Structure 1
Amino acid sequence: MTGASGDVVPFRVGIPETVAADVRDRLRRTRWPEPETVGDWSQGTRLPYIRELCRYWLEEYDWQAAEARLNRFPQFITEIDGLPIHFVHVRSPHPDAVPLLLTHGWPSSVAEFHKVIAPLADPVAFGGSADDAFHVVCPSLPGFGFSGKPSRTGWGAERIADAWDQLMSRLGHPRYGAQGGDWGARITMTLGRRHPDNVIGIHLNMVPFPEPESTDDLTEKERSALDALARHRAQGSAYAAVMATRPQSIGYGLTDSPAALAAWIIDKFEAWSDCDGDPGTVFTNDELLDNILLYWVPATGASAARIYWESFATATSDEGPVPVPTGCSVFPADIYRPSRRLAQPQFPGLRYWNELDKGGHFAALEQPAAFISEVRTAFRLFH
């Protein structure tokens, strides 16, 4: 996949028919559990929903069309710190465009950004201004998608941030902006802390925040945000506990069973999106399955889970204020929904803040127009 260290090699997704046939065979032979004993998603992914999605995957999903969608933008592989890194790189036709690094999280992939890459890179073609143009870089996290799988420990948020900084320099972007949600948000914040001279500014669509020591003067909205976070930790964070402590154990099922992988991932697309209990109101089956494919085809069930083990099990210096210019967009169905006041202490360079009325954790996929507008508005204030 790569030549000498430092080379940037073109890459295309290729899915052999044998892979598609194997998935169909496994789906036909799925041994399903009994239905949940509740009428909602509180016990996890609902049986009727996942059976229908897997039926679609088996009977209607067009693998050749999926391969074409995954190849819609130029992709490359380069080796950084001994690991092959896969990334999408779309250079804007506008030479003064700002280099922009977009980082996904779990259970997402570079496919989350497919609706926003072209408008960000060529705003004029979509009715916008050349002043808002970006050279867009979307890497796959180590152990995710078609990036390499680390064979040794140490690939936590700090090492990934350092690798991303090397990647941008190698591509001829020594000064760049960074954007992210989920793990992408934490890695983007870490970039701002560790490489402030290289980072023009950051934009986050998930905003982690330090919880206040006293709750005496909180507004009703702030109390509601803290209550939602507490509910998430009590009732919705088992996935993180499992992957932070036993990524290898859960990895066997995620690598062997397409139904198990789909159910594990779709649980979060329901819980964290603005879908009111039905992911089908926000995402198409093809969008969901294209993302799942980037876990299934390269067999990353265990390797992707390890980002939790790496980042939760060891103490790091990935804390403290982020000194670079910052913009934050808070979507109403996301896990973290702080007020500006609660988030401000860790962003001394906070220049843009907005709380939207639609959307959730997967903002670029759920609300692409709003996501594009938020990124553009924030970066106009950075330069």
Structure 2
Amino acid sequence: MLMVANTDAQPIFSAIYLYHQSTKEMSAENSKAKLGSVEPFTVDLSKNVPRMLDLVKNTKLPETSIYSGLGSSAGIDLNVLKQLQKQWATDFDWESEEAQMNSYNHFTTNIEGLRIHFIHHRSETAGSIPLLLLHGWPGSFLEVLPLVKPLVEQAKISNGTDVSFDIIVPSLPGFAFSQAPPPTWSIADTARIFHTLMTDILGYTTFAVNGTDWGSGIAYTLYEQYPATIRAAHFSMIPFMPKLPNQLAADNITLTESEQFQADRFAKFAATGTGYFVTHTTKPTTIGLALQDNPMGQLAWIAQQILDWSDPRAGTGPSVLTHREILRFTSLYFLTESFLSSVFIYSSNPNGFRPEYSKASTDAPLLYSNFKYNNTFFPSAIVREVGNLVYWKESLEIIGDGHRSSRLCWGGRDLSYSEV
């Protein structure tokens, strides 16, 4: 069951605004897909699973930590990694994971010489809104699977209006089943081919977009460069350098208590949590080759980021995340041999987080869900500087252990069904 965000006011659904921005052409023209270049695709990686699990079982970890008492402050906690290794080796059912993936509609197509993988589910409801969902690193299409079918089905939003979506979830170039691009490939290039996917291949004339992490940069580029096509854009982070406390003070921006919590969290992340970013940006080949055929190495690298970014306990206690989630994500990276190509998105986009704030030349609505455990921090006053902000929800926190299937993304980029 999907869990919804805990809001203390009457829920406001982003979909309301998207619905009223829709036009008749979105139901008539959007239903005419150009499917000639699209091929159905089935996830079939089982033959490589035994070798992966043998490598997991045969990886020897230290019996005890060399430096006791550090917990997760110096990286992933040894005890957590051992628990993950044990579950992966003895109690991880890839066949059921693969069957669950294949319950969705997968396709591939060729755009500008790249094979691009995507999931596409069409609503049977007339007037459905095309919605492009974009992931980041160390993410994949797996992030959004729990949201696909509920969003496609017709739902009644808070003003009594029925709304549904056509959902499109591509794998970024170099991720999962999408072909690796050239090393100079930018997020603007990805935005361009995803615009081609949505318009020239799938036949949509207008669509909405949601992006997180690197997906936010791609989504914002679409929002900025294709004003005639993008009807609305929803974010839980934006591709700009967050402003430090002294910069906010200089701009006369006063923080609320919850905003101060997030500002403190970001300050800690900026001071101690960006080692992976520097490595990916400056030496992607080294880390990529070191871990490409090393499932436990990938697990340590990926699990540390997931736990640090999205788990309030930061890997030091029982996680609000399930180990199955982490193992599913890592297995997909290893089995698709995409770890090396995925980290190149950093070196290919050294200015992926823009240092200067500027407002996009579009009137399309920008919608923002500000989640409590983001590792980046953007007050509403800052978000207004980059787009036509019409919806803002502050300090959203998933109810209970909602850091499960209700999230669009972990990594502090939580997004519940209700927010979409």
For the superposition of Structure 1 and Structure 2, which TM-score range results when normalised by the shorter chain?
Answer: 0.7 to 0.9
Closer, same or farther in 2 for the Cα pair 1:119/1:172, shift >3 Å? same
Q: Deviations over 1:128-172 (max 9, x none)?
A: 97732000000001100110012x233211001111100101111
Q: Distance in 1 between matches of 2:366 and 2:416?
A: 15
Work out the CA distance in 1 between the residues paired with 2:338 and 2:351: 20
TM-score (norm 2): 0.80
Equivalent residue, structure 2, for 1:300: 338
CA distance in 2, matches of 1:164, 1:229: 31
Amino acid aligned to 1:141: L
- 1:25 matched to 2:54? The reply is yes
Higher relative contact order (CA 8 A, sep 6+): 2
Q: Higher helix share goes to which structure?
A: 1
Amino acid paired to 1:211: K
Picking from 242, 246, 249, the partner of 1:215 is 249
Q: 1:24 Cα shift?
A: 1.6
Q: Which amino acid is 1:117 matched to?
A: V
Q: Which of 329, 338, 363 is residue 369 of structure 2 equivalent to? A: 329
- The equivalent position to 2:218 in structure 1, one of 170, 187, 190, is 187
Aligned counterparts of 2:243 and 2:233: Cα–Cα separation in 1: 22
The 1-side partners of 2:36 and 2:261 are apart by 48
Alignment of 1:364-379 (within 5 A): 364=408, 371-375=416-420
Structure 2 equivalent of residue 163 of structure 1:
193
Matches of 2:158 and 2:58 in 1, distance apart?
A: 49
The alpha-carbon deviation at position 335 of structure 1 amounts to 1.2
Alignment partners' CA distance in 2, 1:355 and 1:328: 9
Counterpart Cα distance in 1 of 2:280 and 2:98: 29
Q: Give yes or no for contact 2:185–2:348 (8 Å, CA) kept in 1.
A: yes
Residues in 1 aligned to 2:158 and 2:150: alpha-carbon distance in whole angstroms: 9
| Cα distance in structure 2, aligned partners of 1:308 and 1:96 | 38
- 8 Å Cα contact 1:122/1:130 also seen in 2: no
CA distance in 2, matches of 1:343, 1:23: 43
Count of aligned residue pairs for this structure pair: 368
Q: Which residue of the partner structure matches residue 378 of structure 1?
A: none
**Is the CA contact 1:329–1:354 (under 8 Å) kept in the aligned structure 2?**
yes
- Go from structure 1 to structure 2 and tell me whether the alpha carbon gap of 1:370 and 1:158 turns closer, same or farther (over 3 Å shift): closer
Question: Which of the residues 128, 133, 140 maps onto 1:102?
Answer: 133
Written as runs of structure 1 = structure 2, the 5 A alignment for 1:134-149 is 134-149=165-180
The question of whether the paired residues in 1 share the 8 Å contact of 2:142 and 2:329 is answered with: yes
Q: Displacement of 1:66 after TM fit?
A: 1.1
Match of 1:355 in 2: 394
Deviation string for 1:218-261 (max 9, x for gaps)?
Answer: 42445554443232122000001000111110012321111110
Root-mean-square deviation over aligned CA pairs: 3.0
In the alignment, which residue of structure 1 is the partner of 2:275? 238
Instruction: Tell me, yes or no, if the aligned pair for 1:108 and 1:291 is still in contact at 8 Å.
Output: yes
Structure 1 unmatched ranges of 5 or more:
376-383
Establish whether residue 9 from structure 1 lines up as the match of residue 53 from structure 2. no
After superposition, residues 78-97 of structure 1 pair within 5 angstroms as 78-97=109-128
**Alignment partner of 1:200: what SS?**
strand
Deviation at 1:326, TM superposition (A): 0.5
Structure 1 counterpart of 2:342, which letter?
Answer: A
TM-score (norm 1): 0.87
1:112 equivalent among 139, 143, 147 = 143
In 2: Cα distance, 1:125 partner to 1:373 partner: 11
**DSSP-derived class of the 1:346 partner:** coil
Aligned residue in 2 for 1:311? 349
Cα distance, 1:93 vs structure 2: 1.5
